[in-house]
Chains A and B, each alone.
Chain A
Amino acid sequence: MAKPQDIMTTQWDDLVINSDIPVLVDFWAPWCGPCRRVAPLVEELAGEYEGRAGFVKINTDENQALAAKYGIMSIPTLLVFKGGLPVGQVVGARPKSEIKKRLDEALV
């Protein structure tokens, strides 16, 4: 079953920008407790959307420039990318239905 892949800035272009399908990016950090609480929910979605959307995780401590580039000032933040651009965002520990909405919007 698909699990969100922990990636680094070096993989960003390949796995997110140039992806054929929409990608949900989970911005997190090891010290962020709420991020840990959101992780199982994102994992579940990764399974449900397998094949239709990609799921990756970015550690903001280790990829600060990337996080700053996308204006991340709050974690957990989930950004949905389509065609290399952020088309949807979910900030904080929000309901599964809200995250699904952003994904479904990108899949249209």
Chain B
Amino acid sequence: MAEQYDVIIIGGGACGLTAGLYTSRAQLKTMLLEKAVPGGQIATTSLVENYPGFPEGVDGPDLAERMEEQAKKYGMGFRYAEVEGIEISGDDRIVHSSEGDFIGKTVIVTSGAEHTKLNVPGEAELTGRGVSYCATCDAAFFREMRVVVVGGGDGALDEGLFLTRYASEVIVVHRRNELRATKILQERAFANPKMRFVWDSVVEEIIGEDGKVAKVALRNVKTGERSALDVEGVFIYIGLAPQSDFVKGLLPMDGGGHLEVNLWMETAVPGVFAAGDVRINAARQLVSAAGDGCTAAIRADHYLQALRAGERETASAH
């Protein structure tokens, strides 16, 4: 027998946890489904310096833990489950998951985004053996080693700077000749003696020796010239892809897989909302994700009240 809720939240990052906090405080029966780790992207970040209220910065996993605790304090239900699809049946939104079905009158999709892979030979085989998508997790294993960071945005520079605390050299490989990262990060990176930059280049292959990363093969996209770097680590930060496959066909999305919503986080399907990095035009910041979650929760509450008013009218008419 499937469990019934007022609100089902898909994805337990900052967005989902904030939505859950708000719906729980509104005394709506809420279940949050998370497939891996509550906290999402900040669960694998060390210092968050741009979330307002923390002049000294705040530890990502710590903040994630506190967000989770806060939402649960007001009664939010939580389950480790991977959502496979959503089915609409009258007023019910049936969420099919790896742990069974959950039925809600509303669903808030806050499934966020995950790290884009390079999809080059050697990448999958050497993951955990020198290839990493999380410098804050793995930097300590690369003491005095030379590593490559692939990417040109905030993620690449933030993590690259973190790596300089351990690595002997951090080489940033970027496919263009200028970075898109926040100016202050660029300044810090250019000033760091352990960091250097390889411009207009892409990684074609990650080569291993004795089951560990030994070198990367590069190609200059402007000249076509090929080269190789002897390194022991490759940290990949080339972008984030929205996790929206499970609602393909149900919810309209843009070419990149971002879910279409209005300013109230409403999708084309009544009672289904989308918020945070998974939606179109997201600012993709921690604070905007939390803000989105709140907006969606408030809207879901209004929707439920209207639904109940409609039910009462129908009931009293009989």
Instruction: Write the residues of chain A forming the contact surface with B, with a CB cutoff of 8 angstroms.
Output: 29, 31-38, 41, 44, 71-77, 89, 91-97
Closest B residue to A36 using CB positions: B61
Q: How far is the CA of A95 from the CA of B36 in the complex (A)?
A: 4
Among candidates B43, B82, B138, B211, residue contacting A37 with C-beta atoms closer than 8 Å: B43
Closest to A67 in B: B141
Q: Which residues of A contact B62 (CB under 8 A)?
A: 33
In-complex Cβ contact of B80 among A34, A36, A92, A96 (8 A): A96
Are A96 and B82 interface neighbours, CB within 8 A?
yes
Minimum C-beta distance from A57 to chain B (A): 16
Residues on the A chain within 8 Å of B4, using CB: none
Instruction: Please provide the 3 A-B residue pairs with the shortest distance between their CB atoms, ordered closest to farther.
Output: A33-B61, A91-B128, A95-B35
Interface centre among B60, B128, B142, by most chain A C-beta atoms within 10 angstroms, is B128
- Min Cβ gap A69→B in Å is 13
Contact A34 B35 (CB under 8 A): no
Q: Which of B's residues lie within 8 Å of A, judged by CB?
A: 35-39, 43-44, 46, 59-62, 64-65, 80-82, 98, 127-130, 132-134, 136-138, 140-142, 211-212, 233
Q: Which residues of B contact A72 (CB under 8 A)?
A: 128, 141
**Distance in Å: Cβ of A1 to nearest Cβ of chain B:** 16
Cβ 8 A contact of B211, one of A33, A34, A71: A71
**A96 near B65 (CB under 8 angstroms)?**
no
> With A32-B137, A38-B37, A72-B141 given, is the CB distance from A93 to B98 under 8 Å?
no
A37-B37, A37-B43, A37-B65 are known contacts. Are A97 and B137 too (CB-CB below 8 A)?
no
Residues of B within 8 A of A89 (CB): 128
- Which residues of the partner chain A approach B130 to less than 8 Å between Cβ atoms? 73
In the complex with contacts A31-B140, A37-B37, A91-B127 CB distance below 8 A: yes
Shortest CB-to-CB span from A68 to chain B, Å, is 9
Contacts of B43 in A (CB 8 A): 33-34, 37, 93
Please measure, in the bound complex, the distance between the C-alpha atom of A54 and the C-alpha atom of B76, giving whole angstroms.
Answer: 31
- Besides A93-B37, A97-B98, 8 more A-B contacts (Cβ < 8 Å) are A34-B43, A73-B130, A73-B138, A74-B132, A74-B138, A91-B127, A92-B128, A97-B82
Across-interface contacts of B44 in A (CB, < 8 A): 33-34, 37, 92-93
Q: Are A33 and B128 in contact (CB under 8 A)?
A: no
Which chain A residues lie closer than 8 Å to B61 at the CB level? Answer: 33-34, 36-37
Contact A76–B137 (Cβ < 8 Å): yes
Residue of A nearest to B78 (CB): A40
Q: Are B60 and A97 in contact (CB under 8 A)?
A: no
Contacts of A36 in B (CB 8 A): 61, 65
Q: Which residue of A lies closest to B45 (CB)?
A: A33
- Show 26 residue pairs from A and B whose CB-CB distance is below 8 angstroms, ordered by the A residue: A33-B59, A33-B62, A33-B136, A34-B37, A34-B44, A34-B136, A36-B61, A37-B39, A41-B37, A71-B212, A73-B130, A73-B132, A73-B138, A73-B233, A74-B137, A74-B138, A91-B128, A92-B44, A92-B128, A94-B36, A95-B35, A95-B36, A96-B35, A96-B82, A97-B82, A97-B98
User: Given A33-B59, A93-B44, are A41 and B127 neighbors across the interface (CB < 8 Å)?
Assistant: no
Bound complex: CA of A96 vs CA of B38, how far in Å? 12
- Docked complex Cα distance between A38 and B36 (Å): 8
Nearest CB on A from B82, distance (A): 5
Contacts of B65 in A (CB 8 A): 36-37
**Chain B residues with Cβ under 8 A from A93's Cβ?**
36-37, 43-44
Across-interface contacts of B133 in A (CB, < 8 A): 92
- Residues on A with beta carbons closer than 8 Å to the beta carbon of B38: 37
A75 touches B137 (CB 8 A): yes
User: In chain B, what residue has the closest Cβ to A98?
Assistant: B36
Set of chain A residues within 8 Å of B137, measured between Cβ atoms? 32, 34-35, 74-76, 92
Residues of B within 8 A of A92 (CB): 44, 128, 133-134, 137
On chain A, the residues within 8 Å of B46 by CB distance are 33
